Amino acid sequence: MIDALVIVVLVATGALAVLGIGTTVRNRPPGRVHTLAVGAVEALLVIQAVIAAARVFGGVPLPESTTFLIYLVVSVCVLPIALQFATAEPTRWGGTVIAVAAIATGVAVLRLQGLWAAGGV
C-alpha cells in the first residue's frame, strides 16, 4: 500500500458516493457520467490492488495476509457489480446503490490500510 494512493482512492470513493446520492436527490437514473466515474475509481483500485498484491507476494510480511488479500479482492469487485445492479433498473435509486458500494469500498480500503500498518512497513 502507498499512503498517497490510499488518500487519492478514499477521496475518489467519497466523491463517487456524493455523486451517487446527488443523482438520487435530483431524481435521475444513473447515466454515462456514473459509468465513467465508476470506471475511473475502479482503475485506481486496480492499480492499488496490483501494487499491494505484488508487495505481499514479493515477501512483505503481514500478520494477517489472507485477510488482507480477501479485502484486496473485495475492494476491486464491489463497484463493477454495483454499477451493473444500479443500471439494470433505471430509477433514481441507482445512484444510491453506487453510493453504498463506494462507501463500502472506502471502508475496505481503510481496513486494508489498517492491516498494512499492522505489518509495520
Partner 1 sequence: MSERIPRATSSGAGRVLIAVYAIFALSATARAGVQIAGRFSEAPVAYLLSALAGVVYILATIGLAGHGPGYRKLAWAAVAFELAGVLVVGTLTVFDGADFPDDTVWSVYGRGYGFVPLVLPIIGLWWLRHTRAR
Sites of contact with partner 1 (CB under 8 A)? 64, 66-67, 70, 74, 78, 82, 85-86, 89, 91, 93-94, 96-97, 100-101, 104
Residue 34's identity, in one-letter code, is H
Q: How far is the CB of 4 from partner 1 (least distance, A)?
A: 26
Please name the residue that has the C-alpha cell 481496513: 111
Considering the complex, state which of residue 35 and residue 91 has its C-beta at the smaller distance from partner 1. Answer: 91
Considering the complex, state which of residue 44 and residue 104 has its C-beta at the smaller distance from partner 1. Answer: 104
Q: How far is the CB of 6 from partner 1 (least distance, A)?
A: 19
| CA gap 109, 7 in Å, rounded | 10
Q: How far is the CB of 62 from partner 1 (least distance, A)?
A: 13
Considering the complex, state which of residue 2 and residue 103 has its C-beta at the smaller distance from partner 1. Answer: 103
Contacts of 109 (CB under 8 A, 6+ apart): 6, 9, 10, 13, 45, 48, 75
Q: How far is the CB of 105 from partner 1 (least distance, A)?
A: 9
Q: What is the secondary structure of 36-53 as a DSSP string?
A: HHHHHHHHHHHHHHHHHH
Helical segments of the chain, H only: 3-25, 32-57, 65-88, 94-118
Considering the complex, state which of residue 12 and residue 94 has its C-beta at the smaller distance from partner 1. Answer: 94
